[in-house]
Homo-oligomer: A and B are copies of this chain.
Amino acid sequence: MRDVAEHSGVSVQTVSNLVNNRLRQMSEVTRLRIEEAMAELGYHPNLTARGLRSARTATIGFLLLDEGARYLADPMTDQVIAGVGDVARDRGYSVLIHAGRPGPPDSGLLKPVLESRVDGALLFLSGPREQRAWYPARAAELHVPVVLLEEPRGGGAATMSVRADNRAGARRLAEHLIERGHRRIAFIAAHQPWPMLEQRHRGYHDALAAAGIAVDRELELFEGTWDTAVAATMVDRLLSMPDPPTAIMGGNDLLAIGAMRQARARGLRVPQDLAVTGFNDFAFAEFVEPPLTTVHVPGYEMGCEAAQLLIDHLDGVAIKRRHVMLPVELRIRGSA
């Protein structure tokens, strides 16, 4: 910046004024001279220095806790990130991605926040409720605004949230199965403490209760990770019961696909002998055989919404609703 200033015969501050669009008090002549110098020298402001001075980094953090090494493994996450990235770009922000290891809450996940690398953060958490609650609380202490993703509300005053209506989605899915005459409906999922999973599980209960069907704990399996092999063992267990289920709800699409495959391997027809449903509606759900009946979760839109909320807050734009719940949509295809 000093080079530009010397080149155009003005002070550094004047260049800064131009760069920051403070044209209120600047003659046309000077402006053009500085712009010329900037172009000639190929000048671009150093955002690190600006960040230091102004305490604003123009960066938002996408912070997630994930069980596995491949931290973006869930086919949902990249949808969300895509949305976040698009909005951030349009509004002049960058996105810093950072993964924390799950386990007892510590500041690992919030590192970018503690180190003042981001102005705010999106938190994609997992784990037991009390553990999850630690993060937004800590962020509030640090006076950093955060948006929680897929977190059932709560988390303190300075916090925002965006989630899909997983509970309603699961409920409608289960109701659909009940309408088709199913009474013994199993629910299988990974053994992972994800809030969205809890919500799906509740929605399933809601539907059963509304239909007067008693919950059978034997039909609820939470095991392993999101893995088709795990799904297969769960299906084996369910189908070996004296009074096996006639429908299986998978906690997500991957499990559903694993379940379908195993069912067919055992000689059952889907959906005639066994109905199977998924959750998320990832891009290829309609291309499996039979096409998967599932719930469409608007991951991209969630990302957009979350980034909008956070950036609105950072930019001082008035926010209508701090807690956004996006509707989900039943996608009835061939598998149930």
- The residues of A with any CB-CB pair to B shorter than 8 Å are 44-49, 51-52, 57, 59, 69-73, 75, 77-79, 81-83, 85-86, 89, 94-99, 112, 114-117, 228, 254, 257, 261, 282-284, 287-289, 300
Contact = CB atoms under 8 A, between A and B. Distances in A.
A123 B69 CA distance: 23
A94 B71 contact: no
A81 to B, nearest CB: 6
Nearest 7 Cβ contacts at the A-B interface: A289-B289, A78-B78, A72-B82, A44-B114, A47-B115, A48-B51, A46-B116
A69 B79 CA distance: 12
A82 B71 contact: yes
Contacts of A79: 70, 72
Nearest to A82: B72
Given A228-B287, A284-B257, A96 B96 contact: yes
A40 to B, nearest CB: 15
B78 A77 contact: yes
B86 A112 contact: no
A114 B46 CA distance: 8
Given A46-B52, A47-B117, A70-B300, 6 more contacts: A44-B116, A46-B115, A49-B116, A71-B82, A72-B78, A254-B284
A228 B284 CA distance: 10
